[in-house]
Amino acid sequence: MSLRTILAGTTGLSLVALASTPAFAVTELQWWHAMSGANNEVVDTLAKEFNDSQADYRIVPVFKGTYPETLNAGIAAFRAKQPPAIMQVFDVGTGVMMAAEGAMKPVAEVLEEGGYAFDKSQYLPGIVAYYSKPDGTMLSFPYNSSSPILFFNKDIFEKAGLDVANPPKTWSEVFEAARTIKSSGAAACGYTSTWLTWIHLENFAAWNNVSYGSNENGLAGPNVELALDAPIYVEHFQAIADLAKDGTFRYGGRTSEAKQLFLSGECGILTESSGGLGDIVKAGMNYGIGQLPFVEGEGRPQNTIPGGASLWVFGGLDDAQYKGVAEFFNFLSQTEIQVRLHQQSGYLPVTLAAYEATKASGFYEQNPGRETPITQMMGKAPTENSRGVRLANLPQVRDIANEEFEAMLAGSQDAETALKKLVERGNAAIREAVGSQ
């Protein structure tokens, strides 16, 4: 053994020793999230990769239950003056978070103070607009975004004599196809949908370019009068209610439970979040993907709005923590990370570079349909109807809507009554919520 090897060995050892000494100033950053199932593993992997990539900061992911449970844990911790650094908040919680000025620090500021220029044009416009103040300041970092699309069962389509290469594009075509599926006996039910509120109210408004509520759907100010009893909604929901009478439309539940009806082959058509693709692939069924349907009309479809969740940064942390958060968000924005998240999980990419890279790699040719949610969202410059919906109490308004829809689908009221009651109760709840802020 030469002296050299010994020397090299010692240096190596001392280097190892240096590296493994718990750096005296490792800043720990807690990331509270609501990601379960396979998504939970993605979160843990990201944190591990970031922690291994540098020695100054350590991201500690903590699962805090469902989205509402996570939000409450964060609020409770803030009120007890022990907030985490980062908290994941679902799309409908955005209004609540924006109203809590002072409790949160805008992500754009965090990035700039951390030495990273925040350039809005690098991000997917539809997503960033949803998580920004009206003046364009990005408030939270989009983590998992998705967009509603149409799935159909090719075997059932063939049995019913429908064209597999040409899935229905408009709502009336969907309803027609659903009736054909049912009457031909190809399946017990023609059409089902997850998330009636997110898909058939919030996205319906944006995609068809009609108003959801006053004040630009709440983006221009918190005092919103809902516009959900307009004729276009009434006709749409009455059509669904009529189909529900003989089981051509089947209701699966308020969130994504209806997916099971599609997986089991009970229903031939499904509208669902693009994030639901994983289960559909794993069930090994012969499926096809189409655009979210729209109502025939001039200039339609417009653009869809994202669902999912974003990462918020609490106020009142120290400078080292903010620096660490900026590093972490910068790490998350890296093209290769975004590409991987997008291709593996079905989330939409956050940056344009990641979208372009995926396109260039030929991924969309191999996985037809995976680009659909992105093109839907990016197709057109958003109008004041299609930038999103922002209410201080959107979860509550969604619950009210679900209650009225359930009564309607059970046959105890028609669509007009349901929507009238939704507007009346929703407006009262919004006034109450705005008053308390």
Partner 1 sequence: MQENRPLAGLVAHLVLVLGVLIVAFPIWYTFVASTHSLQTILSPPLPLVPGDRFLDNYGEALVGGIGQIGGVGIGRLLFNTAVMATAIAVGKIVISILSAYAIVFFRFPGRMVFFWLIFITLMLPVEVRILPTYKVMVDLGLIDTYTGLTLPLMASATATFLFRQFFLTIPPELVEAARIDGAGPMKFLRDILLPLSKTNIAALFVILFIYGWTQYLWPLLITSDSRMSTIVIALRKMVSFTDADTPWHLVMVVAILAILPPVMVVVLMQRWFVKGLVETEK
Partner 2 sequence: MSRVVFPARVLPYLLLSPQIAITAVFFYWPASQALWQSVLREDPFGLKTTFVGLANFRSVLADPNYLQSARVTVVFSVATALLAMAAALWLASAAERVVRGRGLYRTLLIWPYAVAPAVAGMLWLFMFNPAMGTFAYMLRRAGYNWDPLLDPGQAMTMVVVAAAWKQISYNFLFFVAAMQSIPRSLIEAAAIDGAGSTKRFWTIVLPLIAPTTFFLLVVNTVYAFFDTFGIIHAVTGGGPARATETLVYKVYNDGFVHLSLGSSAAQSVILMAIVILLTAIQFRFVERRVHYG
Cβ contact 271:293 at 8 Å? yes
Q: Which does 269 bind (CB under 5 to 8 A by kind): partner 1, partner 2, none?
A: none
Least CB distance from residue 188 to partner 2, whole Å?
Answer: 8
b/e per residue 146-157 (b: at least 16 CB within 10 A): bbbbbbbbbbbb
Shortest distance (Å) from residue 318 CB to partner 2: 20
Toward partner 2, which CB reaches closer, 49 or 432? 432
Residue 62 binding: pick among partner 1, partner 2, none (C-beta 5-8 Å cut-off by kind): partner 1
Give the span between the Cα atoms of 200 and 374, in whole angstroms.
19
State which of residues 200, 254, 370, 390 lies at the interface with partner 2 (CB under 8 A). 254
Q: Print the SS3 string covering the chain.
A: CCHHHHHHHHHHHHHHHHHHCCCCCCEEEEEEECCCHHHHHHHHHHHHHHHHHCCCEEEEEEECCCHHHHHHHHHHHHHCCCCCCEEEEEHHHHHHHHHCECCEECHHHHHHHCCCCCCHHHECHHHHHHCECCCCCECCEEEEEECEEEEEEHHHHHHCCCCCCCCCCEHHHHHHHHHHHHHHCCCCEEEEECCHHHHHHHHHHHHCCCCCEHHHHCCCCCCCCECCCCHHHHHHHHHHHHHHHCCCEEECCCCCCCHHHHHCCCEEEEEEEHHHHHHHHHCCCCEEEECCCECCCCCCCCCCCCEEEEEEEECCCCHHHHHHHHHHHHHHHCHHHHHHHHHHHCCCCCEHHHHHHHHHCCHHHHCCCCCHHHHHHHCCCCCCCCCCCCCCCHHHHHHHHHHHHHHHHCCCCCHHHHHHHHHHHHHHHHHHHHHCC
Footprint of partner 2 on 416-435 (CB under 8 A): 432-433, 435
For helices 335-345 and 352-360, angle between their N-to-C axes, nearest 10 degrees: 70
Q: Quote the least distance from Cβ 132 to partner 1, whole Å.
A: 23
- 201: Cβ contacts below 8 Å, ≥ 6 apart: 212, 228, 233, 401
Which of partner 1, partner 2, none sits in contact with 130, Cβ below 5 to 8 A by type? none
Cis peptide, bond prior to residue 231, ω within 30 of zero: no
Candidates 177-185, 199-207, 258-266, 288-296 — which segment interacts with partner 2 by CB under 8 A? 258-266
Closest CB 288 distance from partner 2, rounded Å: 21
Residue choice 49, 69, 158, 336 for contact with partner 1 (CB under 8 A): 69
Q: Taking CB under 8 A as the rule, does residue 386 contact partner 2?
A: no
Query: Using the rule CB under 8 A, is 116 a contact of partner 1?
Result: no
Does residue 100 bind partner 2 (CB under 8 A)? Answer: yes
Q: Which among partner 1, partner 2, none contacts residue 404 (Cβ within 5 to 8 A by kind)?
A: partner 2
Q: Tokens for 393? A: 């109490």
78/204 with CB nearer partner 2: 78
Footprint on residues 382-401 left by partner 1 (CB under 8 A): none
- Binding residue (CB under 8 A) for partner 2 from 68, 134, 231, 316: 68
Q: Does residue 356 interact with partner 2 by CB under 8 A?
A: no
Among 79, 245, 282, 300, binds partner 2 (CB under 8 A): 79
**How many chain residues are in contact with partner 1, going by CB under 8 A?**
46
- Contact by Cβ (8 Å): 261, 247: no
Asked whether position 36 contacts partner 1 by CB under 8 A, the answer is yes
Q: How far is the CB of 24 from partner 1 (least distance, A)?
A: 21
For partner 1, give the closer residue by CB, 54 or 72.
Answer: 72
**Binding of partner 1 by 369 (CB under 8 A):** no
Q: Does 91 bind partner 2 (CB under 8 A)?
A: no
Residue 225 as a binder of partner 2 (CB under 8 A): the answer is: no
Torsion of CA 27, 47, 31, 338, to 10 degrees: 120
Contact with partner 2 (CB under 8 A) among 28, 246, 257, 356: 257
Site size with partner 2, rule: CB under 8 A: 40
Does the footprint of partner 2 cover residue 101 (CB under 8 A)? yes
Least distance from partner 2 to the Cβ atom of residue 334, Å: 32
Selected binder of partner 1 within 6, 16, 38, 410 (CB under 8 A):
38
Q: Give the footprint of partner 2 on this chain (CB under 8 A).
A: 68-69, 71-72, 75, 78-79, 96, 99-103, 250-254, 257-261, 264, 393, 395-396, 399, 402-404, 406-407, 409-410, 432-433, 435-437
Q: Give the footprint of partner 1 on this chain (CB under 8 A).
A: 30, 32, 35-41, 44, 61-65, 69, 72-73, 76-77, 79-82, 84, 144, 146, 255-257, 260, 263-265, 273, 275-276, 278-279, 282-285, 308, 345-346
